[in-house]
Amino acid sequence: NNTISKDKKMQKGYWISCYHEIYNADKLAAYAELAKPAIESQGGRFLVRGPAVYAAGSGVMERTVIVEWPTLNDAQNAYDSDAYQAALDALSDGVDRDFRIVEGA
């Protein structure tokens, strides 16, 4: 189930993206050009954007992006927005990434 329950909608939300592999740097650049303004215009704030500097256990040295949202609802609405979906269309099959929305502590 990809919907957020009513009692969780006011918690801070975070997008976490881990890029396992980048197949096409041009597609990633096109995505970034569209995604950054789509995210920031909807209240998202980048906390992390870059490669890992250390990994342990099963961790992998990969590009990681974390975006903070005022609420989980904001995080979900931004993901579903036309502007962000256009960015995802530009990214297409250019990367293998793990994306999730999580609740703040």
* pTM of this structure: 0.87
Greatest Cα-to-Cα distance within the chain, rounded to the nearest angstrom: 40
Provide the 8-state DSSP code for 96.
E
> What does each of the 105 residues of the chain score in pLDDT, given as a tens digit?
566 555 666 899 999 999 999 999 999 999 999 999 999 999 999 999 999 999 999 888 999 999 999 999 999 999 999 999 999 999 999 999 999 999 998
Which neighbouring-strand residues pair with 13?
69, 103
